[in-house]
Every structure is written in structure tokens, then in C-alpha cells.
Structure 1
């Protein structure tokens, strides 16, 4: 069962840099346990004017300068009925931007209804973009897979395979070659915006540790430095490691572009068979560089096939031409 996300959880988020919301509660603290069900916001201008059809009350309500000025007008006229009606709905919380302070009557009604009132110093446009990004990240579909996520030449590579196939050992060699570890063993994958897969460690405390059979647990940060790790990375390529099967026919030209479905997103996938003498880290590096080329519009296998077809066509034409001249 998915854990409920409350207003208090929103206030407790450890956000960094461009995601900082600068939120604080200024009223209705007893309502901080209210659940946020919808990863979206609403500007309640129409509701303040008395139009409540299609009122998106399950969303976080944002009060900017326009709504704040209208509240001041309602206060001067002594008209509070629309505000009372707004708080009669089970809205999760209201947030005032620009560091605006709500009128006393508004705070009083919010306290009575048990609805939390929050405040941020950020302007409405900035705050809106940030909170939507934060909520989309929090409510994103997610799953945990057994594998290793590593950044290779800027490409997020998810190493999958049976236990003991050598995923961590391959990742360790890639770290030695200057690449960066995101997560080992348990990778949490989130689907953001419907088509963007972000991977991180399922356990943030143990995320930058690796289990190497024969060595035990190693601390990647201490061994390779902070330049060898990162907290999260977009997954752009899946590399499936498997023991070499002599009965299986492996793709030798790369013309069969395989994908793996993760949370409804199809990710390019390559299968690398393992047997003595194969340098797996170099193969993973090559696969990552080849994926970068594909993203730039360069498909080596397609170009090879096109060149072969052109050569065959030219040879065929030449044969027909020579045969015709010989007959004459």
C-alpha cells in the first residue's frame, strides 16, 4: 500500500538548489496531517468571486498578488461567505506567495476549518514551476530493480543480469576508468513526466557502497573520491549481462534495436554475453558511446546496411552492363 503524502511531508522535504520552496506554516497547524492527493495546483480566483462549478478543491490552492488584493477588497466590504465556502471543502492547504500575509478574517476561517496556511517568499511564477516539479517527482510511478546504475560518458547505463554474473565487478572497473556510480544492488526508478526515467539508490544511506564478492562492502566515495559518484541519473541505456550460451544466436550487426519496458517507457537495451577473455567494461563503454551517437542521429548499423546495399546494387548494375557488352 502506497504511503500517504501529507502537507507536513511537503514541509519536511529536503530540497536543494532550484527545487527549494521556502515554505513555512503561518496558520492552521492542526491541519498539517491533511493528505495531498493530486500533484497539481489551483488558483482560486473564480471561487473567490463565487463560481464553484468545477472547483479543483483537491489541489493545493495558490494565492498570489491578485488573489491577495481581492481578499483585501472582501475584507473592506465585509463579505466572507465565499471564503467560508472555499474552506468548507477538504482542500489540502493554501499557500501565499511573494511573502504575502493573509487578512485576519482569512486566518480565522482557516483555523476554524483546520486547513493549513503556508507562506513562501518566492514569486508566484517561480514557486509554481518549482512545486509542480517537486510534486511530479514525489507522485511519479516507481519501482525498485536489482542492478547497478552507472554514468558512462554522460549516459545513464543500467546494468542488469542474474545474481553473480559480474555486474558490480564490471561497474568497479568502470569506476577505475573514470566513470560515476549512482546506485549498486537496489536501484529505485521513477518515471517523471510520463517518459523520463530517473534512477537513484533505493537506500540513500548505502547508495554509494558496493558489495564485491571476495572483498565485501567497499565505500566508493572514500576509495575513488566524490567525483566518482552522483545521486541520480536519467536511465538512457539498459545493458543486460548474461552467461554465454553457445546455443543462442546473438546479434552481430546491431541491426536489431531491442528495447526494455520500464514503467511504460521503452529504453534501448543491449545484451552482452559473458565468457572468459571478453573485456566487459570496454564493451559497456562502447555501447554507451554508440548510444550517444544514435541520440545525435548517427546509426552505425543502418549506415553499414545502406553502404552494403549500395555496393550490391552497383555490383549488380556493373555485372549486367558487362554481360550486355559481352553479348554484343
Structure 2
């Protein structure tokens, strides 16, 4: 009976390994969970292309994490040294940020009256606290208030959230993979905000009729018998989960030659990319992909596969230019790395 209750509380989630196509989006998400310091993913594409399904699926795929029991910030027990805490294993937090969310809902609030009358810092945690050590997903991020996007990006970059009210300040860990999605028809994100996302994946509606039929059939069968369908993909899910865990452990040992690092910076310079974020993210993503392939050395193929995802959104937009930014990145990469 107890097991029955657990099943009811946990709605079935479509398996990540069952998702057909959308390889760019899947790769960007995999690399960000291997190395969260890549800086998140911006996914732009048509409506109904499985963005939300894929993001929930990657969160469900990840291994459980150990936290201090009932801690509002999902802190790891080693972060606390004052006394012994009871711990528990929880699923990786997956937090949805609604479009109408206020700053208080996102960052948390301080009860000033309680703080003044009782002399304690009465803090009500927000969504950033819940997302610590997990994934924060913002659908239609291009429609979100710029001020809120700034707060999200600052927290994602620093790993901390600070709330200040009437001279009282609270700071808590907020380390998460920020995933934004949107439809370009509804407006682009401002360039200075877009640039702060580590990677940018573009997804399009599948045109191939046979592939479309396969996607519809997979989804229909999942809706009919979700637990049977999840069981069917269990071995593939377990293999991918282990591959991600192994990559996380290997990441610090992966090396890239000085020549490759110089050439990556040459590509960024040739493309007139502002700042050094493009260089840093490309280096990180290439190492994460090498680790994902169980390698300790980055190859040209590794860089070639991830460089468009890391740089396409950092190029200055010329409204008169018809060349796709991804094509420009590929062309400059091939010239500098001397690939025919």
C-alpha cells in the first residue's frame, strides 16, 4: 500500500532516451549537467517541439543527491560543520519559474516584523533556494521581465542569492543549471542577457513524415501505459545515467592542448565576440564532451561538435545579413583549425 502512495505522488516522466531527434538540445543539457559551470542553456525554437518534456526528462534521469534533511536550500551535509545533521537522498530539484513570478517569489522574503520584534532573521525561501543543486527552468524567458532575468543570471553565475530588506541581509547558496526556452517569433532576448547563457540550442519542427509518425506513436504509447514504457527504456536510462556520473568524475582530469586553446580564442576574435565568455564556455564544453566520451584529452572533433552551441548567440546581429550565425561559426572554425 505504501508503494501505491509513492506512485500516485510521482507522475510518470517521459524517458530522456526515448526522445526522438532534437540532438542539439539534448547534448547541451547533458553537457551542462556534467559541468554546471558552463552556464546554462538557452533553447529557442517552435512551439510544440518537446522543450519542456526534454528538460523534465534530463532532471528525472540524474542520480539522487544527499541533502540535510528538511533543509530549505538542499545543502550537502559536508557544507555544515556546527553539528551532526540527519541526511536524506532526494531527486535532483527541477523548479519551474512561472512567467508572472514576482521578485519576492523568486528570491525569497524577510519578515521584517518578526526580525525586529523577536530578533531573529525570519526568511521565507524563494524559488532560487528550492533550485539549489538542481535545474531552474524558465519557459518563455524572452517574455520575462529583464530585471528578473538579471537576478537569475547573477545567481547562476555566482552560485549565491542575497536578499536585503530594511538593513537586514540574508545570503544562501543558489547553484543551479539555468535553462531558458522561448519562441523567436515572440521576440528575442536582449543580446547582453543572451550572451550570459553558456550555450544556445536551436530546435525546429521535424519535417520528415516518418519521424513525425514515430514521435507521435512513442508519445501515444507512453500516455497509454506509462510505467510499462518507462520499464522498456530502463536499461538505456541506466546506461546514460552512469555515463553522466562517470563524466562528472573524469572532468577534472581532462586536458586540452595549448594550441587548441589558442585556436579557440582566434575563432572568438575572428568572429568579433565581445568579452571572454565565449572562450571560457567553449573550453569548458569541449572538456565536458571529451569526458562524456570517456576521454582525457580533447580532440578537434570534440571542439567542432560544441563550438556552434557555445558561440552562435554571441555574434553581433546585422539585420541586413542573411548568413546564419551557426554557419559563420562553422566557417571560421574550419579556416582556423584548417579543416577542409
Q: Which bin holds the TM-score, normalised by the shorter protein?
A: under 0.3
Q: TM-score, normalised by structure 1?
A: 0.24
Greater strand proportion: 1
Greater helix proportion: 2
Q: TM-score, normalised by structure 2?
A: 0.24
